[in-house]
Structure 1
Amino acid sequence: MPTCDLAPFDAVVWDLDGTLVHLAVDWGAVATEAEATFRAAGIDADGTDLWGMLDLADESDMREDIEAILSEHEQEGARRSKRLACAETMGTFEVEGVCSLNCEAACHVALDTHDLAGHADAVVGRDSVATRKPDPEPLLETLRRMDAAPDDAVFVGDSRRDKLTAERAGVAFRYVGDGPSGV
């Protein structure tokens, strides 16, 4: 659960994976499948991380193929996800949303799986807008869909990328737990 006071905020935007739930995704298997897809198209992606692969997919007109691989694994991982303690806090604020690096469909699956969908006034995933975190647009779009102002909101996440997203969007930020879990 957040170790901070969220009461001063009218609107709370939650990150999904690592904050509300833990998706059961073997990211190594995802990367291997994506690398094989690139290799079949004659493109060398060996050693590229998943976010770099998305960039490479955009550059090589393979976004749809790579996104399909990611989305399939994320949705299955959302079905098998583990609910985290922070999810118990969701539903206690005036307006709430989810802003995630996962695809929007996986966000909906996870929220449905853990009976949280009714608490989300907006859901924005990696594929909901043209950019992804740490670009501020996904968070700003979540707030627009919530009809909430950045000054009245807080973004709760588990990574440095989440914090940077909030800073760039002019939104307060709080880590879930004791601090960043990764990039």
Structure 2
Amino acid sequence: MTEYNAVVYDLDGTLVDLAVDWDAVAQEGAELLEAEGVTVDGTDLWGMLDLADDIGVRPSIERTISKHERRGAERSTRLPTATELPRSVPVAVCSLNCEAACRLALKHHDIATHVETVIGRDTVTTRKPDPEPLLAAVRQLDRTPEKTLFVGDSQRDKLTADRAGTAYRYV
């Protein structure tokens, strides 16, 4: 750890496993968009968020997703990576989940006090793999990307780290 002066973690699949039925969330999102006359055949949940942006109904679909995520945070399972906390360097969370769900999960597993900042899907205007959420976390920790380690569980997380200029560790 001496080579890094900050660590940023993804949340779901890295520190905790949110108990979310993502198929049900996607179905509800599809129903909301179809009620607006938008065809969503073959569109994943993140694509649905983009479609919702395009037609100005993002708050509706965001409320639906966030409701499921918050409920899932309260029933989440702590993953082995969470045992790395606390760390001797500042820690943040950068997640595709809404900020409220991240904070609930961290609190539920008694690790919130070890995390200085949380950047969720709704904290900044872009989402992973765009580098801005990760860079926002690094800035809030008052660190630089070159000396930051991002820990995640997906190719999207790896791509985010590459784009942001941070090191990456897959779990």
Structure 2 match to 1:124 = 119
Structure 1 match to 2:71 = 76
Structure 2 match to 1:181 = none
Cα offset, 1:38, TM superposition: 1.1
SS at match of 1:154: strand
Q: What TM-score results when the alignment is normalised by the length of structure 1?
A: 0.91
Counterpart residue identity of residue 66, structure 1: I
Candidates 75, 81, 86, aligned match of 2:81:
86
SS at match of 2:91: strand
Candidates 1, 19, 27, aligned match of 1:32:
27
CA contact 1:12–1:93 (8 Å) conserved in 2: no
Cα offset, 1:47, TM superposition: 2.6
Q: What TM-score results when the alignment is normalised by the length of structure 2?
A: 0.97
Whether 1:66 aligns to 2:61 is yes
Structure 1 match to 2:138 = 143
Cα distance in 2 for partners of 1:156, 1:126 equals 17
Cα offset, 1:48, TM superposition: 1.2
Cα distance in 1 for partners of 2:43, 2:146 equals 37
State the aligned residue count: 171
Whether 1:170 aligns to 2:165 is yes
SS at match of 2:42: coil
Cα distance in 1 for partners of 2:42, 2:135 equals 32
Structure 2 counterparts to residues 18-29 of structure 1, below 5 A: 18-29=13-24
RMSD, matched Cα: 0.9
Cα offset, 1:19, TM superposition: 0.3
Cα offset, 1:71, TM superposition: 0.3
**Percent sequence identity over aligned pairs:** 58
Counterpart residue identity of residue 102, structure 1: N
Cα offset, 1:10, TM superposition: 1.4
Which 4+ runs in 1 deviate beyond 4 A? none
Cα offset, 1:46, TM superposition: 3.1
Cα deviation digits, residues 94-136 of structure 1 (max 9, x gap) = 1000000001111001001001110111100011101000000
Counterpart residue identity of residue 132, structure 2: E
- Structure 1: which 5+ residue stretches go unaligned? 1-5, 177-183
Candidates 92, 97, 113, aligned match of 1:102:
97
Counterpart residue identity of residue 85, structure 1: P
